[in-house]
């Protein structure tokens, strides 16, 4: 039997790349003999590289020029794929997909619905639908449910995360991980709230901070004067993800680490500000609580986040209090 070769394109960002994993699993379950190639930006390649459902990863450098894209496109064309799934549909993915397969299917982003919701607050979505399902529907419109996202790690990453955790002798049953980072300001719960929550929780639980280099200053502020463990800026994206395996619960903004916790089956409190579930990014098939301020006439204001609150009051985040988040954590961790 001739092997069916499929090409998936999702260049960025980290959470989006991770949310392709349910589709990868579904394809391999349906067609175990299929060979799946994946095109992704270099900084997110580790999220997909160890996935056993992927046969080959093709890398796009962050600032790839026309000639680099053309060279990659020629490589892809030579593979003679039977179908290409463009799960990104931006300028680069449109260029790269040209000529790669006789059948090309493109993600339906629902741009108009998102824009109407963000600009006029008129909700034309019938119900929240995870982006992972939208990716699967690009392959097969009849799919109505997708499995939970999956994360796979090289043994070296697991060993490093476990060694670090073991050096502190912490009890996983009593550990709460705080992830205060997010790319855009309106998706970030205020640092002073994280600080108050962390200080209170650290009196009876092991609290751990995770984040990238860009979150290091905020995490140092949250850690100050406490016994909180702070790994912000010290671990790679995949190493931070592997650390989440030791969490009893995670508190996070609408960010990649929310999706990573989801993939690992960790109980999650997700704090939503300017974003809403209708945009497709939320935990699913894992026990979770979503903290959001309903009834605000200015929410949502953007489907990806903004660098400042347009109304200057930031009520979508300021009105979610540390006490409310603490209660949500307690409800997740209480014996059933």
What does the DSSP 8-state code read for residue 288? Answer: E
**What are the structural domain ranges in the chain?**
5-139, 155-333
Q: What is the pLDDT of residues 105-136, one digit of tens each?
A: 999 989 899 999 999 899 999 889 999 999 99
> Which pLDDT does position 336 carry in this prediction?
64
**Residue count (the chain):** 336
What does the DSSP 8-state code read for residue 3? Answer: P
Taking residues 244-251, report their average pLDDT: 97
Q: With the C-alpha atoms ordered 232, 234, 238, 240, is the resulting torsion angle positive or negative? A: negative
How do beta strands 103-106 and 83-86 pair?
Answer: parallel
In this chain, the answer to whether the domains covering 5-139 and 155-333 adopt an identical fold is yes
**Cis bond before residue 321 (omega within 30° of 0):** no
For the domain made up of 5-139, give the CATH fold: Rossmann fold (3.40.50)
Q: What is the pTM of this model?
A: 0.96
Lay out the sheet containing 229-230: strands in order across.
229-230, 206-209, 175-179, 249-253, 267-271, 288-291
165 and 246 in contact (C-beta within 8 Å)?
yes
Beta strands in 91-139 (DSSP E): 103-106
Query: Domain 155-333 is in which class?
Result: alpha beta
Q: What is the pLDDT of residues 28-71, one digit of tens each?
A: 999 999 999 999 999 999 999 999 999 999 999 999 999 999 99
């Amino acid at each position: 039997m001739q092997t069916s070769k499929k090409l998936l394109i999702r260049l960025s960002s980290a959470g989006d790349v991770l949310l392709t994993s349910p589709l990868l699993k579904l394809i391999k379950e349906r067609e175990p003999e299929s060979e799946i190639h994946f095109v992704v930006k270099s900084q997110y390649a580790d999220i997909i590289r160890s996935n056993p459902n992927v046969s080959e990863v093709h890398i796009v450098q962050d600032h790839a020029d026309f000639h680099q894209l053309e060279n990659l496109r020629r490589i892809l064309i030579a593979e003679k794929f039977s179908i290409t799934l463009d799960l990104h549909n931006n300028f680069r993915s449109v260029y790269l997909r040209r000529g790669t397969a006789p059948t090309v299917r493109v993600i339906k982003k629902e741009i108009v619905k998102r824009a109407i919701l963000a600009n006029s607050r008129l909700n034309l979505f019938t119900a929240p639908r995870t982006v992972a399902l939208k990716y699967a529907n690009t392959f097969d419109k009849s799919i109505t449910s997708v499995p939970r996202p999956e994360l796979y790690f090289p043994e070296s990453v697991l060993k490093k995360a476990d060694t670090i955790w073991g050096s502190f002798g912490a009890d996983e049953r009593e550990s709460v991980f705080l992830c205060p980072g997010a790319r855009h300001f309106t998706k970030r719960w205020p640092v002073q709230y994280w600080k108050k929550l962390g200080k209170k929780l650290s009196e009876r639980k092991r609290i751990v901070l995770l984040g990238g280099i860009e979150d290091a200053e905020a995490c140092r502020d949250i850690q100050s004067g406490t016994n909180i463990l702070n790994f912000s800026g010290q671990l790679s994206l995949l190493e931070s993800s592997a650390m989440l395996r030791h969490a009893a619960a995670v508190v996070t903004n609408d960010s990649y680490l929310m999706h990573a916790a989801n993939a690992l089956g960790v109980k999650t409190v997700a704090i939503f500000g300017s974003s809403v579930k209708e945009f497709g990014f939320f935990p699913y098939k894992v026990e979770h609580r979503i903290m959001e301020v309903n009834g605000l006439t200015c929410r949502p204001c953007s489907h990806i986040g903004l660098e400042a609150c347009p109304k200057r009051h930031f009520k979508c985040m300021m009105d979610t209090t540390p006490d409310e988040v603490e209660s949500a954590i307690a409800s997740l961790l209480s014996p059933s």
